[in-house]
């Protein structure tokens, strides 16, 4: 009996607690529903804002792409403009140089005209004087060439005479004589030089052989042609082997004329 009463009391207590819990939950249901509706509304608003933002972003990306293309086109136009300016500047510089040259030529022409005017000569007289001047230059050049030939001839005759009047006299060669060795024959101890009678070389003349400013040997001429000669290496004067390309100069240069 006591157990039954205890069970009834427990059941009644449980029913009371459930009733109280139901009443408490029933009070919270409207608030939860309102919260749900509010969150749903906020979500819709957020989705709408997101959609609008995406649309704005797409438009912005399109504008950015167009701006980048416009910028690239502008750079291209700028490069072309710079190239055109450089071309124009180069032409301007060339024209300026031509102007400077023309101005100089004009000033020279004015000076020549002024000099011509002060002479009191006619154009025909100036032309004749100019011709006489050119003819004189040619005559002077011919005389110099003839003088050189005569100098070589005198040197040759002097050396030939020295062979008979003084066997120990050194043969003089032109002081400005310069040449090179073009062929070397070490077996027969002779060399070929690229200078001859046209340069004043005389048979029996001695030449010093040098390389980079240092004395190498001495050679004596045995036979001479117009533009070359053959010489033998002098015994006791070989400080180094003679090679093609070595320089030669007179061992006994004649006094300047």
- Print burial letters for 147-174: b (CB count within 10 Å at least 16), e (below 16): eeeeebeebbeebeebeeeeeeeebbbb
Cα angle 138-139-143, degrees, rounded to a multiple of 5:
120
> What are the structure tokens assigned to 187, written together?
């077996």
> What are the structure tokens assigned to 104, written together?
């100089």
Please, how many CA atoms are within 13 Å of residue 154, restricted to the half-sphere of its CB? 11
Predicted TM-score (pTM) of this structure: 0.40
Burial class for 76, CB neighbours closer than 10 Å (0-12, 13-18, 19+): exposed
Which whole-number Å values give the CA distances from 50 to 2, 66, 69, 136, 152, in the listed order? 69, 24, 28, 104, 110
Burial class for 224, CB neighbours closer than 10 Å (0-12, 13-18, 19+): buried
**The residue to which tokens 């100098």 are assigned:** 151
Q: Any idea how long the chain is? A: 257
SS3 content of the chain, % helix, strand, coil (to 5): 65, 15, 20
- Domain residue extents for the chain: 1-118, 170-250
Q: Report the pLDDT value the prediction gives residue 69, as an integer from 0 to 100.
A: 86
Label residue 200 left, alpha or beta by phi (over 0 means left) and psi (-120 to 50 means alpha).
left
CATH class of 170-250: mainly beta
Alpha carbon dihedral 11, 12, 17, 18, in 10-degree steps, equals: 70
Alpha carbon dihedral 105, 109, 114, 116, in 10-degree steps, equals: 140
pLDDT in tens, the chain (257 residues): 667 677 776 676 666 666 666 566 566 667 666 777 777 777 777 778 877 887 877 888 888 788 788 778 777 876 776 777 677 777 777 877 877 887 888 877 677 766 666 666 666 766 776 777 677 677 667 666 665 555 555 555 555 555 555 555 678 899 999 999 999 998 888 999 999 998 989 988 999 999 999 999 999 999 999 899 999 999 888 899 999 999 999 999 988 76
Q: Report the pLDDT value the prediction gives residue 201, as an integer from 0 to 100.
A: 93
């Amino acid at each position: 009996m006591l157990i039954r009463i205890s069970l009834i009391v427990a059941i009644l207590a449980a029913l009371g607690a459930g009733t109280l819990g139901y009443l408490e939950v029933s009070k919270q249901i409207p608030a939860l529903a309102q919260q749900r509706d509010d969150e749903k509304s906020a979500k819709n608003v957020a989705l709408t804002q997101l959609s609008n933002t995406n649309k704005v972003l797409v438009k912005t990306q399109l504008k950015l792409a167009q701006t980048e293309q416009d910028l690239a086109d502008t750079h291209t136009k700028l490069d072309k403009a710079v190239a055109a300016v450089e071309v124009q500047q180069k032409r301007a510089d060339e024209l300026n140089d031509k102007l400077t040259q023309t101005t100089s030529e004009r000033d020279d022409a004015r000076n020549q005209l002024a000099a011509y005017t002060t002479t009191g000569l006619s154009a025909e007289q100036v032309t004749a004087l100019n011709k006489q001047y050119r003819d004189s230059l040619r005559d002077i050049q011919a005389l110099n060439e003839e003088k050189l030939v005569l100098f070589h001839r005198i040197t040759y005759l002097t050396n030939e005479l020295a062979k008979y009047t003084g066997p120990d006299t050194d043969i003089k060669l032109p002081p400005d004589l310069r040449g090179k060795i073009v062929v070397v024959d070490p077996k027969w101890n002779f060399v070929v030089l690229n200078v001859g009678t046209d340069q004043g070389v005389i048979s029996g003349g001695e030449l010093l052989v040098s390389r980079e400013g240092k004395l190498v040997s001495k050679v004596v001429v045995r036979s001479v042609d117009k533009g070359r000669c053959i010489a033998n290496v002098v015994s006791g004067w070989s400080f180094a082997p003679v090679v093609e390309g070595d320089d030669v100069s007179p061992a006994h240069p004649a006094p300047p004329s």
